[in-house]
Every structure is written in structure tokens, then in C-alpha cells.
Structure 1
Amino acid sequence: MNEPQSPDDTTPNETAKSRLSSRFSLFWWILLLFILAFLIYFFKYRSTKPAEVKRPPAVVLAVAHNKDVPIYIPALGNVIATYTITVKTQINGLLMRVLYKEGQVVKKGDLLAEIDERPLLAQLTQYQGQLVRDQALLANALVDLQRYQRLWKQDSISQQTLATQESLVRQYQGDVKIDEGLIESTKVNLLYCHITSPIDGRVGLRLVDPGNFVQTSDTTGLVVITTITPMTVIFTIPEDDLSKILPRAFTDKNIKVEAFDRRQYKLLATGSLLTIDNQIDTTTGTVRLRAVFSNKERMLFPNQFVNIRLLVTTINNATVIPTAAIQHSEKGNFVYLLNSDFTVKTQPIKVGVTSGDETVIQEGLSFGQQVVVDGTDKLTNGAKVSIAAPADKE
């Protein structure tokens, strides 16, 4: 009979399997403990992590300040020369010389061109010879008249003979007058051979070259001269704005007018209002005005397009803020006003005129108060704010 095996009598294979099973169980226990520890740590960390603090919205501020605010009427205008003259010949003749350069600034009386005067000089000599002849005939006729008068008193000649001699004297006197007139006319025409500038100004491009035969009937002329100092600008404003100007137009002779370039970046000249047209254009509802500028810097050019600002009045010591700070609601205009605790409140305001990028505040703000310019879309009444940039200072 076989005897039962004791525990110590297990085989080596059974022992190895038992050890492997124990190690496998230990691995899973360790893995389970690791997962459990991770879960405990994860949930504990989430529960103890502090909540993120929400930062107040950042805003940009501006300071309400006082300044003199000029009120302008904007307009569009064209530069018009005070005088524009087309220089023409006053006699027919050959253009001999042109003595100016294109674009030259000339003075009144400067010689511009010369026309051939030789035909006129010959004509003058002829008329002077006729005058000498007619004067001699007149002198002889006067001597005969005196003799005929003595003979008529002696009843030696008839009344008809005396009357004929008197008529001959008057005829010769008329011939002398004609000769003197022809001589004077020729001398004037000789002066016209020397064409001079009638005004101070700037000459344009040459219209006729030397060697051409010019005539008084020519419509183009020889050259165009325009004045450059002073210069005027004609501009139009709406008829509704006329009432703002008329009270001053008849009492103040120095209403300020500024002329800017096409893009309104550069101030070209400063002048004054010269006159207002005497009627309104009913088709456009506008009225024309003329301003005069000294144009010493010569920044204005004839027919140039300019932007005009006509000074209406000046509001002294007005409270102004950037226009961007003004908000709008159904109840009216308001601003976000900064409190000392860095909160904002909605402050109702009454706005006045706008000048550039600033607006006059008639009611609701005073000097030194700070208002929000940028970042208003995130604000409500009483909201806390942070300052993104220092307040503007004047």
C-alpha cells in the first residue's frame, strides 16, 4: 500500500507555480494601490486649488479740461487770382522780341515784348512832312487873307473873293490839325510797340513766339499775367449757416478764414472774409463768399482746390473731453466717470459743439474729472476697473 505524501513532499513544479501566483497577485495589489493613491491625490488637489481671481476690465482714461474752443464753418473753395489779364497787342505788326521768361514774376511797367516799329517811324516822318507843308500853305493863306481884307475895305475886291480866301484859311487850318492828329496817333502806336506789364504778377507760358505777325483781332493774346499777392478764395456755405456770419460781417472786418490743402493736413494760408454775395443760389441752397489772403508764402495758386474753415465764434474756457468718451442711450448722452475707489458710474451730460476730436460739455462734468475713453464696451454702472494707461494731461 502506498503511504500518503506529506506537505514537504511537493514536487518542484508545484512549488514554482505557487511562487509565480504569489508574485502576480502582489503586482496587481501594488497597481491597485497606485491607482487609488492617484485618485485620492487628484480629487484632493482639485478640491484645494484656489479659484482664479477675475481681473477688472482695463480702460483708458482722459481728463476733462478747459480751453478756448474756436467754432468753424467748413467749406470747399477755389483759389482765384485778384487780377488775371491777357496781354494783347494794340497794333498790328511783326513780333520782334519777347523779353520775359515763362513763370517770371514781373512788376507793373516791365517790358515784356517788342513789335517792329520801323513802319510806324516811316509813317511818322511822312506825317511830319505833311504838317510842314500844310503849315506853310496856312501861313501863306493868312498873309493873303490880310491883304484881301485891306482891299475889301478899300472896295477894291468883292465880298465873294474875301469869303473864298477866309474859307481857304480854315481849310488849311483843318489840314494842320489833321496832320498833328496823325502824328500824335503814330507816336502812341510807337509806344504800343513796346508792350509792358499792366500789373504786378506772374507770367504764364508764352502764347506767341517771336517772328509771328500779331494783330489786334487775335483772341489768344501774347501772355497771361496773374497776381499772386494778394490772392482770393471763393467758397460756398449752406444758407442755414448764413445767419451765423451776418451779425459779424458788417461790423467785424477781420473775420478769420483758414485755407488748408486737399487732405486738410497742411495750413496753406490765413486770411480774412472780404465779402458775401448778394443772393442765395436757389438751386443748391448755398451762398458764395470771398476771402482774401496776403499769400506772402505763395502757397496759394490760381484755380487750386482748398478746404476752408471760417471762424464763427470762440467759446472761452469751455470744458472739453474726447468725443470718443461720449456714450449714447435712450435717455441721452452719458460718460463713464471714474470714482476714487476705481469704480465707474454713468454720468449724464449735455454736449455742445464738436471741434476736431473733442466735444464741449455744457453740463455734467467739471475740470479735472476723469472719464473712460476706451474699454467702455465692458462696463456697467458701478463696475470695478483697472487703468490701462495714464490719464491724458493738458
Structure 2
Amino acid sequence: MSWPPKRPASLVALATLVALAAGGVYVARPWHSGEDGAKESAAAAGGKRDGRRRGFDGPIAITATPARVADVPVTIDAVGTAQALNTVTVRTQVDGRLIKLAFEEGQNVKKGDIVALIDPTLYQAAYDQAVAKKAQDEANLANARVDVTRYKKLAASNFGSQQQYATQESLVTQLEAQIRADQGAIDNAKATLDYATIRSPIDGRTGIRLVDVGNILHSSDQTGIVVITQLQPIYVVFTVPQQSLPAVQKAQSRAPAKAAALASDNSSVLDTGRVAVIDNQIDQTTGTVKVKATFENKELSLWPGQFVNVRVTVDLLRDARVVPSAAIQRGPNGAFVYVLNADETVSMRPVVVGRQDEAQAVIVSGVEPGEKVATTGFARLVDGSQVRVMEPTADRGAEAAEGAAPRPRRERNREAGGGPPQRR
């Protein structure tokens, strides 16, 4: 046995691998003195801070719009319901079997158009009977008149009695009355016969039929045959707060106030009309008053039962100073705007807003016509900020709504499908 003893080959290989790994770490991460390492760490941290600072340095990109002078309508917004000008449930006035429906569901009909037919056999017979009865009585009347003339001559020549003449004259009067009664019976039978032909009482549109051909109808039925609604023109009934009632009354005293029916987006105009009537009392439970407006509805954009937004114009502000509503900002001291200066900086200026809607605001004081006000970039703007005015585009609409500056062109190109710029 030799000394020292030989180590196994596997242990020698394992020790060699550990040594090589330690050497690799040492080579990959060379040693630096403490002073040099501190300088390197400080430089790296400074680079990060410089990079973060460079990302926010420079002018803030905004969009700006000049204040302008315009005539601004004063409006009151409300929610209303469309109602048909006239609604008629067509019912039968006589009993009988329905033999025909003379309309198509959803068809436009005129006043007097035939809607349905009831079996007229019985009513035609009654009419013919009344006509025949009158003809019989007229023949009797003619004979009685001849007799009264004859008796009159006999009485005058003393060949006949005066009593017989008077009796015959009375018979003529009775038959004349009977003729008038017969004519009344004829008129009644004719009306009943006409009721078997059901006609539309108004101009309008038919709905879904309520009964089928072949059914026995009665005048006491409440279901009816069809409902006809008049759609042109059409009413829209809405309510306004009692605080707005004087303005509506004042506008209505000058001329019928203009009203616009708007779609659900509150901007698309469905139809325009006029205020027709203001209710004569205020609902004490809600503090509102009903108003009814009339619309021509030529395009049938309004339908009975439809909910619509209504905008009533009650006045007109002439030569008002107007800015976009997006320019108005709110702070602890009230409303303010950022006004663009000649040196491409902005100044925070308080304003007094008269009226404001989703599109524009009327400025009572604080901004003069022609001065440009910022409409985007409010997240970074402060009084005196250096800015760069950019043209507003459609793809920055969402950014403008968020009040942020437009994104770099590289990001917009990537969203448009151009991909990242190629490195050279």
C-alpha cells in the first residue's frame, strides 16, 4: 500500500469543476476598488435620474382653440314621451258576422276608407221593407187627396155633407204624417245598413288586427277590430321644473317656442316642432309642469310610446363669448382656463361661466374674443408652463378627453400597424 493513498478519479473531476466555476465568476465580475465602485454606482443612478428628467423636460404638447363671438340659444332639456295625435279603436256598431277585413296590418288609411264589412243581409232587408212601406203609404195618400178634392166639390154644390169632406181631409193629413214616419224608418234602416260597412274615422296607420274574419261581432264588444293611430303630426309630452316655467311662458308669449326631439345620444335631431300647450297646473308631488309639443313627423322618426330627449329653445344670447366646454377647469376658487400667451406659455385665468353644455360654454368675463385657451394637456399644465400647440386630430380625441398630452409618434405608428422603428 503506497502513501499517500490515491484519490478516486471522480473526486478529482468534481474538484476541478468547482475551481473552474469559481474562476469564471471571478473573471466575469472583476474587482474594483471602493472609490471606483462608488463613482460607477453614482453615475448609473445619475443616468437614471437624467433619463427620467429628460422624459418630462421641454414644452408640453396641448391643443388650443380661440374664444369666439356667437349667438347662443338658451335651452331647457327634458325627457318626453311621444303620443299619437289621435288614437281610435275601431268597433262594430251592429251585430253580425265579419265577412271581410279591407286593410293590411300596418297600412296607412285615409278618413272614410273601408276597414271591415259585416254581413249586411238582415239590414238590407230591413231597409227594403221600410222603402216599400213608404211607397204603399204614398199611394194611399195620393188616393186620399183625390177623394178630398171630390168631396170638396160635392160639399160646395150641396150634393155632399161637410162632415164627409172634413173626415177625408183629416185622412189626408194622417197619411202625410205616416209618410214622414216612413222616411224616418228608411233613414234609420239606411244608417244601420251603413254601419255594416266599417270605415276609418281618421287618417292614420292600422295596427295588428284584433279579430279574424268569420267571427260574430256584437256592438257591446270591447275588444274592437283594429286600432288606428294618427302619426302625422304627433305629440311629445314632457315635464319641466317649475323654476323653468317662467322662461317657457315668456318664450311662448312671443311666439310658439321651438322644440327639438333628440335621440338617445342627446345630439342627433329626430325632428323639430313647436310647443303647443302648457298645462294649467303644477304637479305638487314632483314640482313639474306638463308641456305638449307638436311635431310634423314627416320621416316617421317619432313613434307613439317612444321616449325621447326634448330641447326647448326659450331665448337667444346674442354676441356671446364662447369657448369649448373642454377648456373649462374647476378649482378651489371656481372655474378657470389656461390662456395661451405670445411667448408660448400659458396663464391660469379665472372666468365666470354663464351657461355651459357638453359642447360649449358662454364666458361672462375673464377671456376676450380671439384669445386662445387650452383644451388638452391639463394633467401637466400649471401657471406659466411652456407649451407647444398641436393641431387637434381625430385619433387624439380620447387623449383630449383624459386631459393628457398626445402620445409620441412612435406609439401611434405602432398602434396603426407600422411596428417599431428598425435599428440601423
Q: Distance in 2 between matches of 1:206 and 1:364?
A: 64
Aligned residue for 2:313?
Answer: 311
* Corresponding position: 1:270 with 2:272: yes
* Corresponding position: 1:172 with 2:175: yes
Aligned residue for 2:65?
Answer: 63
* Corresponding position: 1:41 with 2:36: yes
Change (3 A) 1:150 1:381: same
Aligned residue for 1:354?
Answer: 356
Aligned residue for 1:285?
Answer: 287
Aligned residue for 1:20?
Answer: none
Higher alpha-carbon deviation: 76-85 or 58-67: 58-67
Summarize the alignment of residues 55-204 of structure 1 with structure 2, pairs less than 5 Å apart: 55-56=56-57, 58=60, 60-66=62-68, 67-155=70-158, 158-204=161-207
Number of residue equivalences? 357
Aligned residue for 1:245?
Answer: 248
1:207 CA displacement: 1.7
Aligned residue for 2:222?
Answer: 219
SS at match of 1:307: strand
1:354 CA displacement: 0.5
Q: Deviations along 1:175-230, whole A, 9 cap, x unmatched?
A: 22222222233233333322222222100111222222223332332221111211
1:314 CA displacement: 3.1
Is the Cα–Cα contact under 8 Å of residues 323 and 361 in structure 2 kept in the other structure?
A: yes
Give the letter for the 1:193 counterpart. Answer: A
Change (3 A) 1:42 1:372: farther
Q: Deviations along 1:335-374, whole A, 9 cap, x unmatched?
A: 2334344443321211110022432212111234344445
Q: Distance in 1 between matches of 2:133 and 2:115?
A: 34
Is the Cα–Cα contact under 8 Å of residues 62 and 322 in structure 1 kept in the other structure?
A: no
SS at match of 2:33: helix
Q: Distance in 1 between matches of 2:113 and 2:147?
A: 53
Summarize the alignment of residues 379-390 of structure 1 with structure 2, pairs less than 5 Å apart: 379-382=381-384, 384-387=385-388, 390=390
Q: Distance in 1 between matches of 2:285 and 2:39?
A: 83
Q: Distance in 1 between matches of 2:293 and 2:124?
A: 49
Aligned residue for 2:6?
Answer: none
Q: Deviations along 1:18-55, whole A, 9 cap, x unmatched?
A: xxxxxxxxxxxxxxxx96x6333334556776873463
Give the letter for the 1:200 counterpart. Answer: D
Q: Distance in 2 between matches of 1:350 and 1:391?
A: 27
Give the letter for the 1:307 counterpart. Answer: N
Aligned residue for 1:18?
Answer: none
Scaled by the length of structure 2, what TM-score is found? 0.74
Q: 5+ residue gaps in structure 1?
A: 1-33
1:263 CA displacement: 4.7
Q: Distance in 2 between matches of 1:119 and 1:239?
A: 60
Q: Distance in 2 between matches of 1:197 and 1:233?
A: 24
* Corresponding position: 1:228 with 2:231: yes
Higher alpha-carbon deviation: 278-287 or 80-89: 278-287
1:309 CA displacement: 0.8
Is the Cα–Cα contact under 8 Å of residues 78 and 234 in structure 1 kept in the other structure?
A: yes
1:103 CA displacement: 0.7
Is the Cα–Cα contact under 8 Å of residues 352 and 359 in structure 1 kept in the other structure?
A: yes
Change (3 A) 1:124 1:330: closer
Q: Deviations along 1:69-115, whole A, 9 cap, x unmatched?
A: 33220011111111112222233322211110111111222221112
Give the letter for the 1:186 counterpart. Answer: A
Give the letter for the 1:301 counterpart. Answer: W
Higher alpha-carbon deviation: 59-68 or 86-95: 59-68
Q: Deviations along 1:113-159, whole A, 9 cap, x unmatched?
A: 11222222222332222222212222222222223333333455555
Give the letter for the 2:168 counterpart. Answer: Q
Scaled by the length of structure 1, what TM-score is found? 0.80
Q: Deviations along 1:365-393, whole A, 9 cap, x unmatched?
A: 123434444554555433x3454x72549
Is the Cα–Cα contact under 8 Å of residues 92 and 213 in structure 1 kept in the other structure?
A: yes
Cα-Cα RMSD: 2.9
Is the Cα–Cα contact under 8 Å of residues 333 and 351 in structure 1 kept in the other structure?
A: yes
SS at match of 1:127: helix
Q: Distance in 2 between matches of 1:121 and 1:174?
A: 25
Aligned residue for 2:11?
Answer: none
SS at match of 1:321: strand
SS at match of 1:211: coil
Give the letter for the 1:69 counterpart. Answer: V
Is the Cα–Cα contact under 8 Å of residues 64 and 376 in structure 2 kept in the other structure?
A: no
Is the Cα–Cα contact under 8 Å of residues 106 and 202 in structure 1 kept in the other structure?
A: yes
Q: 5+ residue gaps in structure 2?
A: 1-29, 394-424
* Structure with greater Cα Rg: 1
SS at match of 2:313: strand
Change (3 A) 1:39 1:108: same
Aligned residue for 1:256?
Answer: 258
Q: Distance in 2 between matches of 1:191 and 1:84?
A: 23
SS at match of 2:254: coil
1:329 CA displacement: 4.1
Aligned residue for 1:3?
Answer: none
Q: Distance in 2 between matches of 1:137 and 1:231?
A: 58
Is the Cα–Cα contact under 8 Å of residues 63 and 392 in structure 1 kept in the other structure?
A: no
Aligned residue for 2:322?
Answer: 320
